[in-house]
Amino acid sequence: MKPRLRIERRLEVPSWMNWSIPAGAVGVALAAGAVLLSLLGVSPLAAYKAMIQGSLGDAWGISETIVKAIPLTLAGLAVGLAFTMVVWNIGAEGQIVMGALAAVAVVRYAFVDNSLVMFSLMFLMACLAGGLWAGFAGFLKARWNVNETITTLMMNYIAILLADYFIYGPWRDPSSLGFPMTTPFPEAARLPVLGGTRVHVGIFLAVGLAILFRVLYRWTKWGFELRVIGNNPNAARYAGINDLKNVVLAMFLSGAVAGIAGMTEVAGLQGRLQPGFSGGYGFTAIIVAWLARLNPMATILVSFLLGVLLVGGDTLQVVMRLPLASVQVLQGLILFCVLGAEFFRNYRIVFIERGE
Amino acid sequence: MESGKQQPLVQMLGITKSFASVKANRGINFDVFPGEVHTLLGENGAGKSTLMNILNGLYQPDAGSIRIKGAECRFSSPREAIAAGIGMVHQHFMLVPVLTVWENLVMGLPGLKAVLPKREVIRKIGELSDRYGLDVEPEAQVWQLSVGEQQRVEILKMLYRNAEVLVLDEPTSVLTPQEVRRLFDTIRQMTAEGHGVVFISHKLDEVMEISDRITILRSGEVVETLPGPMATREMLAEKMVGRKIVFAVDKAVLNPGDTVLEAEGICALNDRGLPAIRNLSLSIRQGEILGIAGIAGNGQKELCEALVGLRPIQFGRVLLRGKDMTGRKPMDFLRAGVSYIPADRKGTGLVGAMNLRENFALKNFWRKPYAKGPFLSWESIAGETGRIVERFGVSAPGLGIPVRNLSGGNQQRLMLGRELSGTPDLIVAMQPTWGLDVGATEFVRDQLLRQRERGAAILLVSEDLEEVLALSDRLAVIHKGEIMGLVEDPRSASEEELGLMMAGIRRETAIEGEKGR
Amino acid sequence: MEILIPILSAAIRSGTPILYATLGEILTEKAGVLNLGLEGLMLLGAFSGFSATMVTGNPWVGLAAAVCVGMAVSALHAFLCVTMGANQVVSGLAITMFGTGMSALLGKAYVGETIRGLGILPVPVLAKIPLLGPVLFNHDPLVYLSYVLVGLACWFISSTRWGLTLRAVGENPRAVDAAGLSVARLRYAYTMVGGGLAALGGAYLSVVYTQMWVEMMTAGRGWIAVALVIFGIWNPLRAAFGSYLFGGVGALQLRIQAAGTTVPAPLLLMLPYILTIVVLVGISVRKGKGILLGAPASLGQPFHREERD
């Protein structure tokens, strides 16, 4: 009588798993990170302590964490929308860049010395730029079933190189000697900040859109349609839902929201465009969306947590002289653990006794 | 083709197999002699595929034994079965489309040389092709071949591996009549060479033509094994569907009202692009149930989909209360009061991961009380869902659990409740009681009758002949996408008559009466 | 004509790291697994190669170490995707993040160091051929190895029994499973081989090309490799052509700028990505009987044998 293992699909997932599994995964990842750090001769306790102190230890730290959380939330919502329809929008990074480029273009070519007008114009053009960038990939998928993972991924790099072209070329600030960047935004084009921090009004956009998305998914017809398409395209067609049209529309919206993230980064935070300004937010947003299980309100929370990670990374660089990129190790580990944990969410291991 | 005093190539003795609580095979005895075509005949779910998958090594029997040329064998994988000489040609081909014919033939072959011996393989293919009359172009890529040619490749694959017994699972379901001819020539060639052939089918005329022996399965058991020449179509049809039990149903006599649905000479293709519905006409009036009887795979699914806008119509028209709905979107049909209960309840009719409320909303999210402008009113949705759960007896721990956790019967009750509670004008119901227990089955039939009394027009498609006879006011028999005949009074129709129509023989007199109202 | 020689020669050398990664990914994708972790794998390979060479003083040890690291990390990707059925896109991105971060973290101590890597080894006789000689045969051994590997890959895929199985498992794993072969084992193997090759490509950068270590030194070559697999429609020879072409653009661009540029560098660098989209749309539109000619049909989809019993 040898007991054997069998892997069985779960019939229902206990709801406590919905938050405990991502939380557990993060825990395991941090533990693994601790092991790695100690193997490198870095004290994990010291490192983690420095990270927490840097990001949550004082008001400035918290405000900096929020500053990072804003684009993460926006991009996380954007990615989450696409993923809800099982459309793999890996192009948030590029859509952010396009949004930022649109904002800079507005300032350069359509400047009006009025904050409200500038905000509205930049907002609109950023939505359009990001939306079209993503919508194009959505159209290709809907019309000819072109793999959206590849198209959105490629368009990332096209967008980044496009930005490089403008930054190094026609839009370069002549006084920006060694480090190329565009001319700084005039006051009217900048977003107001809160208190003495760098937290700009983009925070209202982030929270507002999260609430909007929650309402969308839970309480609107269109949100329901999107969820059905993502769950079962056959049933969607049976129910009279037009899946093709909705894919393009949803991708446009997804890109638009990512574009807003780009706009707020450049108009709210940085005030000018530098190479590499998007800083991997588009890819980190994928972690955010995955950890938050595509839930808009959870996206805010998870974005904050990842903001802690990123600000912590800045601190590590300053305090412990570790390269900034090291934080990506933790990001990677978290993703590995979340992916692995999902397996336990969907399957369970059953011991069975087999006769003979 | 003589099976005299020879030893059988395959002997299956007392095979029993259950899946969960369903007994798919019960003590089945089946054998195949060299040079014979032994047909396994039965309806869907009769147990034919299970039996052959056991022979093929995919499943293990719970009881019983298999003997290959007298020696007891136990196959734990298809590879072992092939090594023992059993070659199965599945209904869904296991070919790699972008590879060539010869590459498909040798892929995964044990003992294959490191550098592909292309010339040798092509030569051997040529030999086999000549011997068995299986013409294929060895260097063609499989995706370029017709379905009939692809099937030939599958057969060649087995012959290449020296299979002595070939099992063909529903081989003609995807072939044109000419291709069926060629297949039969090939089968005769194979038996002449001494192979044994197991032919699995539910198509009576073909079975009649090709079989040396016929074994009829029903509900997992062998009904009878008889020599091919002795069988008649009527005999086979009768044995396949079973003795008719007169099922007394309390059906009120109604006077049907105006015509609700009219289909005029419609033609539609199936998913493979072959004609599934040919020049089909029918009409249904208010307060009447039109039953469609027929053996599975004769176009029933395509017909239902065409009538609700889910399948494009190549020719002909579909009229709903006189209005031409041909080519309109599914949503237009929904808004016009058409309700469709699909056979595939889990894959199409319901979204398994969503809960009961959401599944109700699936077909109602655009309707007035449940939607206010762009928003959904979950209160009204929950309210109506609760009412449906009560009225239709859906046993569920709550409205918020995913429907995939419900039993099949409860899923069907929920789906029925959703479709019928909205007082539709036309109900298209396909296999509404399939897989349900007795209680659920009775309930479903009762509900359909109530809708009929309410004045709905109902199209009932079912492979359960007894059910369709009991419930229908008028009965049409479908065969290869055409209506063979229309029976005005189902209870007066004889089994023989129906069996003939299901086998493809028209009922001449009825056809004239159909055209019109 | 003579001016061309240094340019073409530079293109070959610059394209070689990309070629290794592209070749590896072609094998992985042909088996049906999508590995977007190439950038991370290349960086890990670059770091391992560099550090192992520094420690042992032997560049071949360094290269071997890189291959081992690449295979180990891509085995993780295979485990997540093949055994656990996780989303292949996300897993690949995780590998990239992990690889980028890990190589930066570990490499901190090595920034600024140099090693003696592999030197140029002209091929006797062949290197003397006018034009072709200096362009093709005046390089380090790893370039020659890449030539051999490309040829080997082409032959392997089209003419051997394992190549046949490889093509089959990426197109229709069900058929391979029905033939009694293990889909999982095949996918593990090819994912690891692909990862090893990608790491080797990265190691080429640090051990041969620059003989230094710099954080993020691959500068996006891993992503270009992903693009080139599609651009070359999963064919090793076309991929080689693409690698030299686009690797060359990088090398070329410096010279063009020195000579007074007309086309700005970023726009040139966009070409591989734009062309990939064009090619992808082209093959999607031109479908033959529903088959996407060239792309492995089961790419990115986990394989689950239908539940029996």
Q: Which of B200, B226, B241 is the last residue of a domain?
A: B241
pLDDT at C60: 92
Chain C positions in Cβ-Cβ contact with residue A162 (cut-off 8 Å): 266, 270
B88: domain CATH number?
3.40.50.300
Burial status of residue B397 (CB atoms within 10 A of its CB: 0-12, 13-18, 19 or more): exposed
> Closest Cα of chain A to C1: distance in Å?
31
> B501 and chain C: CB distance < 8 Å anywhere?
no
Per the CB < 8 A criterion, the answer to whether B233 and B484 are in contact is no
Chain C positions in Cβ-Cβ contact with residue B115 (cut-off 8 Å): 159-161
C182: domain CATH number?
1.10.3470
> C301 and chain A: CB distance < 8 Å anywhere?
no
From residue C22, give the alpha-carbon distance in Å to each of A265, B44, C99.
35, 49, 17
Q: Scanning every residue of chain B, which has its alpha carbon at the shortest distance from the alpha carbon of A227? A: B354
Instruction: Give this prediction's pTM.
Output: 0.84
Tell me the Ramachandran region of residue B66: left when phi exceeds 0, alpha when psi lies from -120 to 50, beta otherwise: beta
pLDDT at B245: 38
Chain A positions in Cβ-Cβ contact with residue C86 (cut-off 8 Å): 339-340, 342-343
Long-range CB contacts (< 8 A, 24+ apart) of A16-19?
A17/A345, A18/A293
Nearest to B143 among C178, C181, C289 (CB): C289
Strand B165-169 to strand B323-324: parallel, antiparallel, or no bridges (unpaired)? Answer: unpaired
Q: Is residue C305 part of a domain?
A: no
Residue type, C13: R
Q: Is residue C131 part of a domain?
A: yes
**Cβ contact (<8 Å) for A234 and B354?**
no
Per the CB < 8 A criterion, the answer to whether A326 and C47 are in contact is no
Q: Look at the block and give the residue holding tokens 């935070």.
A: A269
> Closest Cα of chain B to A13: distance in Å?
10
Chain C positions in Cβ-Cβ contact with residue B142 (cut-off 8 Å): none
Q: Say if residue B169 is in the same domain as residue B235.
A: yes
Nearest to C266 among A161, A327, A336 (CB): A161
Strand B426-430 to strand B457-462: parallel, antiparallel, or no bridges (unpaired)? Answer: parallel
At A162, is the pLDDT very low, low, confident or very high (cuts 50, 70, 90)? very high
At C7, is the pLDDT very low, low, confident or very high (cuts 50, 70, 90)? confident
Q: Is residue C303 part of a domain?
A: no
At A93, is the pLDDT very low, low, confident or very high (cuts 50, 70, 90)? very high
B:371-390 residues touching chain C, CB 8 A cutoff: none
Is the per-residue pLDDT at A79 higher than 70? yes
Q: Is residue C145 part of a domain?
A: yes
pLDDT at A18: 74
Q: Say if residue B134 is in the same domain as residue B18.
A: yes
Is the per-residue pLDDT at A112 higher than 50? yes
Q: Say if residue B307 is in the same domain as residue B176.
A: no
pLDDT at A1: 40
Query: What domain count does chain B have?
Result: 3
For residue range C218-261, list pLDDT tens digits in order: 888 999 899 899 888 899 999 999 999 888 777 776 666 666 55
Chain C interface mutation, best of A148, A335, A338, A346, highest count of C Cβ atoms under 10 Å: A335
For residue range B117-132, list pLDDT tens digits in order: 999 999 999 999 988 8
Q: Is residue B310 part of a domain?
A: yes
Rounded mean pLDDT of A251-268? 94
Output the average pLDDT for chain B.
Answer: 85
C:198-237 residues touching chain A, CB 8 A cutoff: 215-216, 220, 223, 226-227, 230
Q: Is residue C300 part of a domain?
A: no
Q: Which of B241, B269, B299 is the last residue of a domain?
A: B241
Domain of residue C132 covers: 4-285
Q: Scanning every residue of chain A, which has its alpha carbon at the shortest distance from the alpha carbon of B370? A: A221
Output the average pLDDT for chain A.
Answer: 87
Is the per-residue pLDDT at C309 higher than 60? no
Rounded mean pLDDT of A22-44? 87
At A8, is the pLDDT very low, low, confident or very high (cuts 50, 70, 90)? low
Q: Say if residue B220 is in the same domain as residue B272.
A: no
Domain of residue B213 covers: 10-241
Chain C interface mutation, best of B104, B107, B109, B143, highest count of C Cβ atoms under 10 Å: B107
Nearest to C179 among B59, B107, B116 (CB): B107
Q: Is residue C292 part of a domain?
A: no
CB pairs under 8 A between A and C: 136
Per the CB < 8 A criterion, the answer to whether B194 and B69 are in contact is no
Q: Scanning every residue of chain B, which has its alpha carbon at the shortest distance from the alpha carbon of A232? A: B351
> B20 and chain C: CB distance < 8 Å anywhere?
no
**Cβ contact (<8 Å) for C167 and B96?**
yes
Nearest to A340 among C80, C97, C108 (CB): C80
Chain A positions in Cβ-Cβ contact with residue B352 (cut-off 8 Å): 232
Q: Say if residue B405 is in the same domain as residue B395.
A: yes
The subunits that touch chain C, with at least 3 C-beta pairs less than 8 Å apart, are A, B
> A221 and chain B: CB distance < 8 Å anywhere?
yes
**Cβ contact (<8 Å) for C172 and B95?**
yes
Q: Is residue B108 part of a domain?
A: yes
| C-alpha closest to that of C75 among C203, C166, C185, C191 | C191
For residue range B5-48, list pLDDT tens digits in order: 578 889 898 889 887 667 788 889 999 999 999 999 887 667 88
**Cβ contact (<8 Å) for B97 and C165?**
no
> A329 and chain C: CB distance < 8 Å anywhere?
yes
Q: Is residue C158 part of a domain?
A: yes
pLDDT at C260: 58
Tell me the Ramachandran region of residue C289: left when phi exceeds 0, alpha when psi lies from -120 to 50, beta otherwise: left
Give the ipTM of the model, two decimals please: 0.87
Per the CB < 8 A criterion, the answer to whether A289 and A282 are in contact is no
For residue range B413-455, list pLDDT tens digits in order: 899 899 988 789 999 999 888 767 667 778 888 889 999 988 8
Structure tokens of C33? 């697994």
Which H helix or E strand runs over B376? strand B375-376
> B107 and chain C: CB distance < 8 Å anywhere?
yes
> C175 and chain A: CB distance < 8 Å anywhere?
no
Query: What domain count does chain C have?
Result: 1
At A174, is the pLDDT very low, low, confident or very high (cuts 50, 70, 90)? confident
Q: Scanning every residue of chain B, which has its alpha carbon at the shortest distance from the alpha carbon of C171? A: B96
C:231-290 residues touching chain A, CB 8 A cutoff: 264-267, 269-270, 273-274, 276-277, 280-281, 284-285
Q: Say if residue B249 is in the same domain as residue B235.
A: no
pLDDT at C80: 94
What number of other Cβ atoms are within 10 A of residue A2's Cβ? Answer: 7
B305 vs C10: which has the higher pLDDT: B305
> Closest Cα of chain C to B439: distance in Å?
27
**Cβ contact (<8 Å) for B375 and A219?**
yes
Q: Say if residue B128 is in the same domain as residue B237.
A: yes
SS3 C159: helix
pLDDT at B147: 80
For residue range A304-354, list pLDDT tens digits in order: 999 999 998 888 888 888 888 888 898 999 999 989 888 887 777 766 554
- Residue C291 contacts by C-beta under 8 Å, 6 or more apart in sequence? B97, B98, B143, C297
At A171, is the pLDDT very low, low, confident or very high (cuts 50, 70, 90)? confident
CB burial of C179-213 (b: ≥16 within 10 Å; e: otherwise) equals bbbebbebbbbbbbbbbbbbbbbbbbbbbbbbbbb
B61 vs A255: which has the higher pLDDT: A255
Chain B interface mutation, best of C155, C156, C157, C164, highest count of B Cβ atoms under 10 Å: C164
The subunits that touch chain A, with at least 3 C-beta pairs less than 8 Å apart, are B, C
Q: Say if residue B111 is in the same domain as residue B234.
A: yes
Regions in chain B scoring below 50 on pLDDT: 1-3, 244-247, 509-517
Q: What percent of chain A has pLDDT over 90?
A: 45
Chain A positions in Cβ-Cβ contact with residue C230 (cut-off 8 Å): 150
Chain A interface mutation, best of C253, C277, C304, highest count of A Cβ atoms under 10 Å: C277
Rounded mean pLDDT of A263-290? 88
Q: Is residue C28 part of a domain?
A: yes
A2 vs B252: which has the higher pLDDT: B252
pLDDT at B44: 66
Rounded mean pLDDT of C280-299? 73
Domains of chain A (ranges, CATH numbers): 1-30+332-356 (no CATH), 63-321 (1.10.3470)
The number of helices, as runs of H, and strands, as runs of E, in chain C is: 12, 0
pLDDT at B513: 38
Q: Which of B423, B442, B457 is the last residue of a domain?
A: B423
Chain C interface mutation, best of A4, A37, A83, A150, highest count of C Cβ atoms under 10 Å: A150
B:125-184 residues touching chain C, CB 8 A cutoff: 143-144
Alpha-carbon span B487 to A132, nearest angstrom: 59
Is the per-residue pLDDT at A163 higher than 70? yes
pLDDT at B423: 85
Q: Scanning every residue of chain C, which has its alpha carbon at the shortest distance from the alpha carbon of A344? A: C84
